Structure 1
Amino acid sequence: MASAPQASLPVFYKDLMPLNSRDHASWKSRTTDKAPWLAGFHAVPLTVEEFPSAARNFPIIFSSGENPVPLALMGLNEGVNVFVDGEGKLLENIYIPAYVRRYPFLLARLNPQAEELSLCFDPTSDLVGEYDEGNALFDGDQASESTKGLLGFCEQFEQAGMKTQAFVEELTKHKLLMDGEVAIQQDGIEQPFVYRGFQMIDQEKLRDVRGDVLRSWNQNGLLPLIYAHLFSLELIREIFGRQVQQGKGPVQAPVGAA
Protein backbone atom coordinates (compact mmCIF):
# COMPACT_ATOMS: atom_id res chain seq x y z
CA MET A 1 0.00 0.00 0.00
CA ALA A 2 2.74 2.46 0.89
CA SER A 3 6.48 2.48 1.13
CA ALA A 4 9.05 5.10 1.98
CA PRO A 5 10.30 7.11 -1.01
CA GLN A 6 13.55 5.71 -2.36
CA ALA A 7 14.36 8.29 -5.02
CA SER A 8 17.23 10.73 -4.57
CA LEU A 9 14.76 13.62 -4.63
CA PRO A 10 11.84 13.92 -2.21
CA VAL A 11 8.34 13.05 -3.37
CA PHE A 12 6.87 15.73 -5.73
CA TYR A 13 10.27 17.30 -6.50
CA LYS A 14 11.65 16.82 -10.01
CA ASP A 15 14.68 19.07 -9.50
CA LEU A 16 16.18 21.32 -6.83
CA MET A 17 17.82 24.72 -7.12
CA PRO A 18 19.11 26.96 -4.30
CA LEU A 19 17.32 30.29 -4.07
CA ASN A 20 19.67 33.28 -4.32
CA SER A 21 19.42 37.01 -4.97
CA ARG A 22 21.87 36.91 -7.89
CA ASP A 23 19.89 34.54 -10.12
CA HIS A 24 16.39 35.15 -8.79
CA ALA A 25 16.34 38.86 -7.92
CA SER A 26 13.21 39.53 -9.98
CA TRP A 27 11.46 36.21 -9.38
CA LYS A 28 8.12 35.86 -7.64
CA SER A 29 6.17 33.07 -6.01
CA ARG A 30 2.52 32.48 -6.77
CA THR A 31 -0.26 30.94 -4.72
CA THR A 32 -2.71 28.43 -6.13
CA ASP A 33 -5.85 26.53 -5.21
CA LYS A 34 -4.69 23.50 -7.19
CA ALA A 35 -2.04 20.88 -6.50
CA PRO A 36 -1.56 18.90 -9.73
CA TRP A 37 1.66 17.43 -8.29
CA LEU A 38 -0.48 15.69 -5.67
CA ALA A 39 -2.98 13.99 -7.99
CA GLY A 40 -0.79 10.97 -8.75
CA PHE A 41 0.23 10.21 -5.17
CA HIS A 42 -1.84 8.03 -2.86
CA ALA A 43 0.21 8.65 0.31
CA VAL A 44 1.86 11.81 1.65
CA PRO A 45 4.38 12.14 4.51
CA LEU A 46 3.04 13.52 7.80
CA THR A 47 4.65 14.98 10.89
CA VAL A 48 3.39 14.04 14.34
CA GLU A 49 2.15 17.56 14.95
CA GLU A 50 -0.36 17.00 12.16
CA PHE A 51 -1.84 13.75 13.48
CA PRO A 52 -4.87 15.29 15.24
CA SER A 53 -5.91 17.34 12.18
CA ALA A 54 -5.02 14.76 9.52
CA ALA A 55 -6.81 11.93 11.36
CA ARG A 56 -10.15 13.62 10.71
CA ASN A 57 -9.79 13.05 6.96
CA PHE A 58 -7.19 10.36 6.30
CA PRO A 59 -6.02 7.03 7.66
CA ILE A 60 -2.56 7.50 9.17
CA ILE A 61 -0.27 4.58 8.41
CA PHE A 62 3.47 3.91 8.49
CA SER A 63 5.52 3.03 5.43
CA SER A 64 7.04 -0.42 5.14
CA GLY A 65 10.78 -0.94 5.40
CA GLU A 66 13.44 -0.34 8.01
CA ASN A 67 12.88 3.41 8.37
CA PRO A 68 9.12 3.88 8.71
CA VAL A 69 7.55 7.21 7.83
CA PRO A 70 4.06 8.32 8.93
CA LEU A 71 1.82 8.79 5.90
CA ALA A 72 -1.58 10.30 5.21
CA LEU A 73 -3.36 7.73 3.04
CA MET A 74 -5.30 9.50 0.26
CA GLY A 75 -5.93 6.41 -1.88
CA LEU A 76 -5.51 2.64 -1.60
CA ASN A 77 -3.67 2.04 -4.87
CA GLU A 78 -0.63 3.56 -6.53
CA GLY A 79 -1.52 6.65 -8.53
CA VAL A 80 -4.98 6.99 -6.97
CA ASN A 81 -5.87 10.04 -4.88
CA VAL A 82 -9.57 10.26 -4.05
CA PHE A 83 -9.31 13.82 -2.73
CA VAL A 84 -7.85 15.42 -5.87
CA ASP A 85 -9.34 15.58 -9.37
CA GLY A 86 -7.38 15.25 -12.60
CA GLU A 87 -6.49 18.94 -12.59
CA GLY A 88 -5.16 18.82 -9.07
CA LYS A 89 -8.08 20.59 -7.43
CA LEU A 90 -9.02 19.42 -3.96
CA LEU A 91 -12.53 18.03 -4.07
CA GLU A 92 -13.55 19.35 -0.66
CA ASN A 93 -12.38 21.34 2.30
CA ILE A 94 -9.90 18.90 3.86
CA TYR A 95 -6.73 19.19 5.86
CA ILE A 96 -3.75 19.74 3.55
CA PRO A 97 -0.54 18.17 4.91
CA ALA A 98 2.37 20.54 5.49
CA TYR A 99 4.46 18.47 3.09
CA VAL A 100 2.05 19.49 0.31
CA ARG A 101 1.86 23.13 1.41
CA ARG A 102 5.66 23.37 1.50
CA TYR A 103 6.07 22.55 -2.20
CA PRO A 104 7.91 23.81 -4.27
CA PHE A 105 10.26 24.96 -1.49
CA LEU A 106 12.33 23.00 1.03
CA LEU A 107 15.50 23.19 3.08
CA ALA A 108 18.41 21.11 1.81
CA ARG A 109 22.17 20.80 2.12
CA LEU A 110 23.90 22.08 -1.00
CA ASN A 111 26.57 19.42 -0.54
CA PRO A 112 27.08 16.52 1.89
CA GLN A 113 29.70 18.46 3.85
CA ALA A 114 27.51 21.53 4.39
CA GLU A 115 26.44 22.10 8.00
CA GLU A 116 23.64 24.54 7.24
CA LEU A 117 20.46 23.96 5.25
CA SER A 118 19.68 26.30 2.36
CA LEU A 119 16.28 27.32 1.04
CA CYS A 120 15.79 25.57 -2.30
CA PHE A 121 12.93 25.17 -4.76
CA ASP A 122 11.82 22.98 -7.64
CA PRO A 123 12.51 25.00 -10.81
CA THR A 124 10.10 22.83 -12.81
CA SER A 125 7.17 24.19 -10.79
CA ASP A 126 5.08 26.99 -12.27
CA LEU A 127 4.65 28.48 -8.80
CA VAL A 128 8.04 30.22 -8.95
CA GLY A 129 9.45 32.30 -11.80
CA GLU A 130 9.77 35.69 -13.48
CA TYR A 131 6.11 36.63 -13.32
CA ASP A 132 4.32 39.98 -13.37
CA GLU A 133 2.13 38.95 -10.45
CA GLY A 134 2.98 37.22 -7.20
CA ASN A 135 5.05 37.76 -4.09
CA ALA A 136 8.55 39.09 -4.69
CA LEU A 137 11.21 36.74 -3.36
CA PHE A 138 13.81 39.47 -2.84
CA ASP A 139 13.90 43.09 -1.84
CA GLY A 140 17.14 44.19 -3.43
CA ASP A 141 19.75 41.69 -2.31
CA GLN A 142 17.82 40.77 0.83
CA ALA A 143 15.12 38.18 1.29
CA SER A 144 11.62 39.66 1.13
CA GLU A 145 9.12 39.30 3.94
CA SER A 146 7.38 36.62 1.86
CA THR A 147 10.61 34.64 1.54
CA LYS A 148 11.28 34.99 5.25
CA GLY A 149 7.85 33.49 5.85
CA LEU A 150 8.62 30.60 3.49
CA LEU A 151 11.92 30.03 5.26
CA GLY A 152 10.24 30.04 8.65
CA PHE A 153 7.64 27.50 7.49
CA CYS A 154 10.34 25.20 6.12
CA GLU A 155 12.32 25.51 9.37
CA GLN A 156 9.24 24.57 11.39
CA PHE A 157 8.72 21.59 9.09
CA GLU A 158 12.29 20.40 9.70
CA GLN A 159 11.82 20.71 13.46
CA ALA A 160 8.56 18.77 13.24
CA GLY A 161 10.39 16.16 11.20
CA MET A 162 12.89 15.61 14.00
CA LYS A 163 10.04 15.16 16.50
CA THR A 164 8.45 12.69 14.11
CA GLN A 165 11.67 10.71 13.83
CA ALA A 166 11.92 10.54 17.63
CA PHE A 167 8.32 9.29 17.81
CA VAL A 168 8.95 6.53 15.26
CA GLU A 169 12.18 5.54 17.03
CA GLU A 170 10.21 5.14 20.25
CA LEU A 171 7.71 2.88 18.49
CA THR A 172 10.44 0.73 16.95
CA LYS A 173 12.32 0.60 20.25
CA HIS A 174 9.31 -1.09 21.83
CA LYS A 175 8.62 -3.14 18.65
CA LEU A 176 5.11 -1.79 18.34
CA LEU A 177 4.95 -1.63 14.54
CA MET A 178 3.69 -4.63 12.62
CA ASP A 179 2.84 -5.40 9.00
CA GLY A 180 -0.66 -4.17 8.30
CA GLU A 181 -3.42 -5.86 6.34
CA VAL A 182 -6.95 -4.73 5.59
CA ALA A 183 -9.57 -6.97 3.98
CA ILE A 184 -12.69 -5.26 2.60
CA GLN A 185 -15.67 -7.28 1.43
CA GLN A 186 -17.65 -5.66 -1.36
CA ASP A 187 -21.25 -6.65 -2.02
CA GLY A 188 -21.61 -9.00 -4.96
CA ILE A 189 -17.93 -9.98 -5.04
CA GLU A 190 -16.94 -13.30 -3.50
CA GLN A 191 -13.30 -12.54 -2.70
CA PRO A 192 -12.42 -9.62 -0.42
CA PHE A 193 -10.07 -6.89 -1.50
CA VAL A 194 -6.91 -7.16 0.57
CA TYR A 195 -4.47 -4.30 1.04
CA ARG A 196 -0.98 -4.79 2.41
CA GLY A 197 2.43 -3.14 2.16
CA PHE A 198 2.17 -0.79 5.15
CA GLN A 199 2.77 -0.85 8.89
CA MET A 200 0.52 -0.09 11.82
CA ILE A 201 0.74 -0.21 15.60
CA ASP A 202 0.16 -3.65 17.10
CA GLN A 203 -2.61 -3.17 19.66
CA GLU A 204 -1.80 -6.46 21.40
CA LYS A 205 1.76 -5.32 22.08
CA LEU A 206 0.51 -1.88 23.07
CA ARG A 207 -1.57 -3.48 25.83
CA ASP A 208 1.57 -5.12 27.21
CA VAL A 209 3.63 -1.92 27.45
CA ARG A 210 4.72 -1.26 31.03
CA GLY A 211 2.71 1.25 33.03
CA ASP A 212 5.65 3.58 33.65
CA VAL A 213 6.30 3.78 29.90
CA LEU A 214 2.64 4.55 29.20
CA ARG A 215 2.68 7.30 31.84
CA SER A 216 5.76 8.79 30.22
CA TRP A 217 4.11 8.68 26.80
CA ASN A 218 1.01 10.32 28.21
CA GLN A 219 3.04 13.10 29.79
CA ASN A 220 5.12 13.87 26.70
CA GLY A 221 2.19 13.64 24.28
CA LEU A 222 3.08 10.41 22.52
CA LEU A 223 0.08 8.40 23.70
CA PRO A 224 -2.51 10.67 22.03
CA LEU A 225 -0.54 10.34 18.78
CA ILE A 226 -0.73 6.57 18.99
CA TYR A 227 -4.48 6.64 19.44
CA ALA A 228 -4.94 9.21 16.66
CA HIS A 229 -3.24 6.72 14.36
CA LEU A 230 -5.32 3.75 15.58
CA PHE A 231 -8.66 5.59 15.38
CA SER A 232 -7.86 6.93 11.90
CA LEU A 233 -7.52 3.40 10.48
CA GLU A 234 -11.32 3.17 10.42
CA LEU A 235 -11.21 5.63 7.51
CA ILE A 236 -9.59 3.04 5.21
CA ARG A 237 -13.02 1.71 4.33
CA GLU A 238 -14.17 5.25 3.57
CA ILE A 239 -11.26 5.66 1.16
CA PHE A 240 -12.28 2.35 -0.44
CA GLY A 241 -15.83 3.64 -0.86
CA ARG A 242 -14.60 6.85 -2.46
CA GLN A 243 -12.53 4.87 -4.96
CA VAL A 244 -15.55 2.78 -5.93
CA GLN A 245 -17.74 5.88 -6.23
CA GLN A 246 -15.17 7.68 -8.38
CA GLY A 247 -14.51 4.67 -10.59
CA LYS A 248 -10.85 4.54 -9.52
CA GLY A 249 -10.68 0.92 -8.53
CA PRO A 250 -10.43 -1.04 -6.40
CA VAL A 251 -7.87 -3.54 -7.67
CA GLN A 252 -8.61 -7.20 -6.99
CA ALA A 253 -6.77 -8.68 -3.99
CA PRO A 254 -4.05 -9.20 -3.04
CA VAL A 255 -2.49 -5.81 -3.52
CA GLY A 256 1.05 -4.98 -2.45
CA ALA A 257 2.66 -1.59 -2.60
CA ALA A 258 5.47 -0.42 -4.75
Structure 2
Amino acid sequence: MASAPKANLPVFYKDLIPLNSNEHGDYTARTVDKAAWVAHQHAVPLTVEEFPAAQRNYPIVFSAGDNAVPLALMGLNEGVNVFFDDEGTPVDAPTPYIPAYIRRYPFILAKLDKNSDNLSLCFDPTTDLVGKFDDGAALFTDDKQPTEHTQGLLQFCEKFEQAGARTQAFMKELKDHDLLMDGEVAIQRADAPNDPFTYRGFQMVNQDKLRELRGDQLRKWNENGLLPLIVAHLFSLDLMRTVFARQVEQGKGPIAAANGAAPAAPAADKPKAKKS
Protein backbone atom coordinates (compact mmCIF):
# COMPACT_ATOMS: atom_id res chain seq x y z
CA MET A 1 0.00 0.00 0.00
CA ALA A 2 1.29 3.45 -0.87
CA SER A 3 2.10 5.59 2.12
CA ALA A 4 0.28 8.85 2.72
CA PRO A 5 1.96 12.00 1.37
CA LYS A 6 4.41 13.52 3.83
CA ALA A 7 4.54 17.20 4.66
CA ASN A 8 7.09 19.51 3.04
CA LEU A 9 7.80 17.22 0.11
CA PRO A 10 8.27 18.71 -3.36
CA VAL A 11 5.43 18.63 -5.87
CA PHE A 12 4.82 15.11 -7.29
CA TYR A 13 6.66 13.33 -4.46
CA LYS A 14 4.56 11.38 -1.94
CA ASP A 15 7.49 9.86 -0.07
CA LEU A 16 11.28 9.76 -0.31
CA ILE A 17 13.85 7.10 0.56
CA PRO A 18 17.60 7.06 -0.25
CA LEU A 19 18.71 4.72 -3.02
CA ASN A 20 21.24 2.19 -1.77
CA SER A 21 22.71 -1.05 -3.08
CA ASN A 22 21.93 -3.08 0.04
CA GLU A 23 18.17 -2.62 -0.17
CA HIS A 24 17.77 -1.87 -3.87
CA GLY A 25 20.50 -3.93 -5.45
CA ASP A 26 18.05 -5.79 -7.69
CA TYR A 27 15.87 -2.76 -8.54
CA THR A 28 15.37 -1.41 -12.03
CA ALA A 29 14.12 1.93 -13.31
CA ARG A 30 11.51 2.00 -16.04
CA THR A 31 11.50 4.40 -18.97
CA VAL A 32 8.02 5.53 -19.96
CA ASP A 33 6.47 7.72 -22.64
CA LYS A 34 3.80 9.05 -20.27
CA ALA A 35 4.10 11.33 -17.26
CA ALA A 36 0.98 10.49 -15.27
CA TRP A 37 2.32 12.48 -12.32
CA VAL A 38 1.92 15.75 -14.22
CA ALA A 39 -1.50 15.11 -15.78
CA HIS A 40 -3.41 17.37 -13.39
CA GLN A 41 -0.64 19.77 -12.42
CA HIS A 42 -1.24 23.30 -13.69
CA ALA A 43 2.10 24.83 -12.63
CA VAL A 44 5.57 23.25 -12.76
CA PRO A 45 8.81 24.77 -11.40
CA LEU A 46 11.40 25.93 -13.93
CA THR A 47 15.08 26.75 -13.79
CA VAL A 48 16.35 29.85 -15.56
CA GLU A 49 18.30 27.74 -18.03
CA GLU A 50 14.97 26.45 -19.35
CA PHE A 51 13.45 29.87 -20.06
CA PRO A 52 14.47 30.03 -23.75
CA ALA A 53 12.91 26.64 -24.52
CA ALA A 54 9.93 26.84 -22.15
CA GLN A 55 8.77 30.30 -23.27
CA ARG A 56 7.85 28.88 -26.66
CA ASN A 57 5.08 26.77 -25.09
CA TYR A 58 4.22 28.06 -21.64
CA PRO A 59 3.61 31.34 -19.83
CA ILE A 60 6.44 31.80 -17.33
CA VAL A 61 5.36 33.45 -14.09
CA PHE A 62 6.67 33.59 -10.53
CA SER A 63 4.95 32.12 -7.50
CA ALA A 64 3.35 34.35 -4.90
CA GLY A 65 5.11 35.06 -1.61
CA ASP A 66 8.58 36.09 -0.53
CA ASN A 67 10.39 32.96 -1.75
CA ALA A 68 9.17 33.14 -5.32
CA VAL A 69 10.17 30.53 -7.90
CA PRO A 70 9.67 30.50 -11.68
CA LEU A 71 6.73 28.42 -12.89
CA ALA A 72 5.67 27.11 -16.27
CA LEU A 73 1.89 27.39 -16.49
CA MET A 74 0.27 24.38 -18.11
CA GLY A 75 -3.20 25.54 -17.19
CA LEU A 76 -4.85 28.56 -15.62
CA ASN A 77 -7.02 26.65 -13.17
CA GLU A 78 -5.91 24.24 -10.49
CA GLY A 79 -5.98 20.65 -11.70
CA VAL A 80 -6.08 21.69 -15.37
CA ASN A 81 -3.24 20.78 -17.71
CA VAL A 82 -3.86 21.47 -21.40
CA PHE A 83 -0.53 20.00 -22.59
CA PHE A 84 -0.93 16.48 -21.15
CA ASP A 85 -4.00 14.26 -21.14
CA ASP A 86 -5.34 12.42 -18.10
CA GLU A 87 -2.81 9.60 -18.58
CA GLY A 88 0.13 11.99 -18.88
CA THR A 89 0.57 11.72 -22.64
CA PRO A 90 1.49 14.96 -24.45
CA VAL A 91 -1.48 16.13 -26.50
CA ASP A 92 0.62 18.00 -29.06
CA ALA A 93 2.77 16.87 -31.95
CA PRO A 94 5.57 17.70 -31.83
CA THR A 95 5.80 17.24 -28.09
CA PRO A 96 6.14 20.56 -26.19
CA TYR A 97 9.20 21.24 -24.10
CA ILE A 98 9.07 19.06 -20.99
CA PRO A 99 10.57 20.80 -17.93
CA ALA A 100 13.47 19.11 -16.18
CA TYR A 101 11.43 19.02 -12.97
CA ILE A 102 9.05 16.57 -14.68
CA ARG A 103 11.84 14.51 -16.24
CA ARG A 104 13.67 14.19 -12.92
CA TYR A 105 10.82 12.36 -11.18
CA PRO A 106 10.85 9.96 -9.30
CA PHE A 107 14.50 10.73 -8.42
CA ILE A 108 15.82 13.71 -6.51
CA LEU A 109 18.86 14.81 -4.53
CA ALA A 110 17.89 15.34 -0.91
CA LYS A 111 19.59 16.20 2.37
CA LEU A 112 19.30 13.28 4.79
CA ASP A 113 21.10 14.96 7.69
CA LYS A 114 19.98 18.48 8.59
CA ASN A 115 23.44 19.10 10.06
CA SER A 116 25.18 18.27 6.78
CA ASP A 117 25.12 19.83 3.34
CA ASN A 118 25.63 16.46 1.65
CA LEU A 119 22.92 15.39 -0.76
CA SER A 120 21.91 11.80 -1.47
CA LEU A 121 20.14 10.33 -4.48
CA CYS A 122 16.62 9.46 -3.36
CA PHE A 123 13.45 8.27 -5.07
CA ASP A 124 9.72 8.13 -4.46
CA PRO A 125 8.91 4.50 -3.49
CA THR A 126 5.18 4.98 -4.12
CA THR A 127 5.71 5.12 -7.88
CA ASP A 128 5.72 2.14 -10.23
CA LEU A 129 8.77 3.51 -12.02
CA VAL A 130 11.34 2.01 -9.64
CA GLY A 131 11.22 -1.46 -8.13
CA LYS A 132 11.83 -5.19 -8.60
CA PHE A 133 10.72 -5.45 -12.20
CA ASP A 134 11.56 -7.82 -15.04
CA ASP A 135 11.90 -4.79 -17.31
CA GLY A 136 13.75 -1.50 -16.97
CA ALA A 137 17.38 -0.48 -16.55
CA ALA A 138 19.32 -2.03 -13.68
CA LEU A 139 20.37 0.44 -11.00
CA PHE A 140 23.26 -1.62 -9.61
CA THR A 141 25.66 -4.21 -10.93
CA ASP A 142 26.05 -7.69 -9.47
CA ASP A 143 28.84 -6.39 -7.24
CA LYS A 144 26.55 -3.60 -5.96
CA GLN A 145 28.14 -0.76 -7.90
CA PRO A 146 26.02 1.96 -9.55
CA THR A 147 25.35 1.20 -13.21
CA GLU A 148 25.88 3.75 -15.98
CA HIS A 149 22.13 4.37 -15.85
CA THR A 150 22.29 5.27 -12.16
CA GLN A 151 25.34 7.46 -12.72
CA GLY A 152 23.40 9.26 -15.46
CA LEU A 153 20.47 9.81 -13.09
CA LEU A 154 22.83 11.22 -10.47
CA GLN A 155 24.45 13.58 -12.98
CA PHE A 156 21.06 14.80 -14.17
CA CYS A 157 19.97 15.53 -10.59
CA GLU A 158 23.28 17.25 -9.85
CA LYS A 159 22.90 19.51 -12.90
CA PHE A 160 19.35 20.28 -11.81
CA GLU A 161 20.60 21.37 -8.38
CA GLN A 162 23.25 23.56 -9.98
CA ALA A 163 20.63 25.15 -12.23
CA GLY A 164 18.48 25.64 -9.14
CA ALA A 165 21.26 27.61 -7.47
CA ARG A 166 21.55 29.87 -10.53
CA THR A 167 17.78 30.30 -10.47
CA GLN A 168 17.90 31.41 -6.84
CA ALA A 169 20.56 33.98 -7.75
CA PHE A 170 18.32 35.29 -10.56
CA MET A 171 15.35 35.57 -8.21
CA LYS A 172 17.51 37.40 -5.66
CA GLU A 173 18.42 39.98 -8.31
CA LEU A 174 14.75 40.57 -9.09
CA LYS A 175 13.89 40.91 -5.42
CA ASP A 176 16.88 43.13 -4.57
CA HIS A 177 15.82 45.55 -7.31
CA ASP A 178 12.14 45.35 -6.31
CA LEU A 179 11.11 44.23 -9.78
CA LEU A 180 8.42 41.72 -8.83
CA MET A 181 4.79 42.78 -8.66
CA ASP A 182 1.50 40.99 -8.15
CA GLY A 183 0.30 39.79 -11.52
CA GLU A 184 -3.17 39.99 -12.97
CA VAL A 185 -4.55 39.09 -16.37
CA ALA A 186 -8.11 39.61 -17.58
CA ILE A 187 -9.12 37.35 -20.45
CA GLN A 188 -12.21 38.16 -22.43
CA ARG A 189 -14.31 35.39 -23.90
CA ALA A 190 -15.73 35.79 -27.37
CA ASP A 191 -19.20 34.91 -26.12
CA ALA A 192 -19.04 37.40 -23.23
CA PRO A 193 -16.68 40.29 -24.09
CA ASN A 194 -17.90 42.38 -21.15
CA ASP A 195 -17.49 39.63 -18.60
CA PRO A 196 -13.77 38.64 -18.54
CA PHE A 197 -12.15 36.10 -16.29
CA THR A 198 -9.45 37.63 -14.10
CA TYR A 199 -6.54 35.52 -12.91
CA ARG A 200 -4.36 36.48 -9.97
CA GLY A 201 -2.17 34.71 -7.42
CA PHE A 202 1.16 34.98 -9.24
CA GLN A 203 3.97 37.50 -9.67
CA MET A 204 5.55 39.06 -12.74
CA VAL A 205 8.23 41.60 -13.56
CA ASN A 206 7.15 45.22 -13.22
CA GLN A 207 8.00 46.71 -16.61
CA ASP A 208 7.72 50.29 -15.34
CA LYS A 209 10.40 49.68 -12.74
CA LEU A 210 12.47 47.76 -15.28
CA ARG A 211 12.52 50.82 -17.53
CA GLU A 212 13.67 52.97 -14.60
CA LEU A 213 16.79 50.91 -13.93
CA ARG A 214 20.14 52.56 -14.55
CA GLY A 215 21.83 51.85 -17.83
CA ASP A 216 24.89 50.31 -16.18
CA GLN A 217 22.69 47.82 -14.34
CA LEU A 218 20.88 46.82 -17.53
CA ARG A 219 24.22 46.51 -19.32
CA LYS A 220 25.51 44.25 -16.54
CA TRP A 221 22.42 42.05 -16.76
CA ASN A 222 22.73 41.89 -20.52
CA GLU A 223 26.34 40.78 -20.24
CA ASN A 224 25.68 38.08 -17.64
CA GLY A 225 22.52 36.80 -19.36
CA LEU A 226 19.90 37.95 -16.84
CA LEU A 227 18.23 40.51 -19.10
CA PRO A 228 17.34 37.96 -21.81
CA LEU A 229 15.72 35.83 -19.10
CA ILE A 230 13.51 38.74 -18.06
CA VAL A 231 12.58 39.37 -21.70
CA ALA A 232 11.71 35.69 -22.19
CA HIS A 233 9.42 35.86 -19.15
CA LEU A 234 7.67 39.01 -20.38
CA PHE A 235 7.17 37.71 -23.92
CA SER A 236 5.79 34.42 -22.62
CA LEU A 237 2.93 36.13 -20.75
CA ASP A 238 1.03 36.54 -24.03
CA LEU A 239 0.64 32.76 -24.03
CA MET A 240 -1.78 32.96 -21.09
CA ARG A 241 -4.55 33.73 -23.55
CA THR A 242 -3.47 30.79 -25.68
CA VAL A 243 -3.62 28.48 -22.67
CA PHE A 244 -7.06 29.87 -21.81
CA ALA A 245 -8.25 29.16 -25.35
CA ARG A 246 -6.91 25.60 -25.13
CA GLN A 247 -8.81 25.09 -21.88
CA VAL A 248 -12.03 26.17 -23.52
CA GLU A 249 -11.34 24.00 -26.58
CA GLN A 250 -10.68 20.97 -24.38
CA GLY A 251 -13.76 21.59 -22.25
CA LYS A 252 -11.59 22.55 -19.28
CA GLY A 253 -12.47 26.24 -19.16
CA PRO A 254 -13.04 28.19 -15.94
CA ILE A 255 -16.72 27.26 -15.83
CA ALA A 256 -15.99 23.55 -16.30
CA ALA A 257 -13.25 23.80 -13.69
CA ALA A 258 -15.80 25.11 -11.20
CA ASN A 259 -13.87 28.27 -10.46
CA GLY A 260 -10.58 26.48 -9.85
CA ALA A 261 -7.53 28.23 -8.51
CA ALA A 262 -5.64 30.89 -10.37
CA PRO A 263 -1.94 30.37 -11.11
CA ALA A 264 0.04 30.14 -7.89
CA ALA A 265 2.94 28.34 -6.31
CA PRO A 266 2.07 24.69 -5.57
CA ALA A 267 2.54 25.26 -1.85
CA ALA A 268 0.95 28.69 -1.67
CA ASP A 269 -2.62 29.76 -1.08
CA LYS A 270 -4.43 29.70 -4.38
CA PRO A 271 -6.91 32.54 -4.96
CA LYS A 272 -9.95 31.55 -6.96
CA ALA A 273 -10.39 32.61 -10.54
CA LYS A 274 -13.28 35.01 -10.67
CA LYS A 275 -15.15 37.26 -12.99
CA SER A 276 -14.73 41.00 -12.81
> Do Structure 1 and Structure 2 share a fold, with TM-score over 0.5?
yes
Structure 1 equivalent of residue 80 of structure 2 = 80
SS of the aligned residue for 2:61 comes to strand
Structure 1 stretches (4+) deviating beyond 3 angstroms? 251-257
- TM-score normalised to structure 1 length: 0.95
- Name the CA distance, whole Å, in 1 between partners of 2:240 and 2:102: 21
SS of the aligned residue for 2:153 comes to helix
CA contact (8 A) 1:85 1:91 kept: yes
The 3 A distance-change label for structure 1 pair 147 and 254 is: closer
2:170 is equivalent to residue 142 of structure 1:
no
Residues 58-95 of structure 1 show CA distances to partners (whole Å, capped at 9, x for unaligned) of: 00000000100000000000000001111111112100
Question: CA offset at residue 111 of structure 1?
Answer: 2.3
- Name the CA distance, whole Å, in 2 between partners of 1:149 and 1:191: 51
Segments of structure 1 that go 5 or more residues without pairing to the other structure are: 1-5
SS of the aligned residue for 1:185 comes to strand
2:196 is equivalent to residue 192 of structure 1:
yes
Query: Pairwise CA RMSD of aligned residues?
Result: 1.5
CA contact (8 A) 1:193 1:253 kept: no
Structure 2 equivalent of residue 3 of structure 1 = none
Residues 128-178 of structure 1 show CA distances to partners (whole Å, capped at 9, x for unaligned) of: 010111110001221111000000000000000000000000000000000
Question: CA offset at residue 249 of structure 1?
Answer: 1.6
Residues 35-77 of structure 1 show CA distances to partners (whole Å, capped at 9, x for unaligned) of: 1110111000000000000000000000000100000000000
- Name the CA distance, whole Å, in 2 between partners of 1:138 and 1:255: 43
Structure 1 equivalent of residue 209 of structure 2 = 205
Structure 2 equivalent of residue 107 of structure 1 = 109
Structure 2 equivalent of residue 171 of structure 1 = 174
The aligned amino acid for 1:215 is R
Question: CA offset at residue 115 of structure 1?
Answer: 2.4
- Name the CA distance, whole Å, in 2 between partners of 1:19 and 1:253: 41
State percent identity of aligned pairs: 65
CA contact (8 A) 2:36 2:87 kept: yes
The 3 A distance-change label for structure 1 pair 26 and 73 is: same
CA contact (8 A) 1:63 1:199 kept: yes
- Name the CA distance, whole Å, in 2 between partners of 1:57 and 1:160: 20
The 3 A distance-change label for structure 1 pair 141 and 173 is: same
Segments of structure 2 that go 5 or more residues without pairing to the other structure are: 1-5, 265-269, 271-276
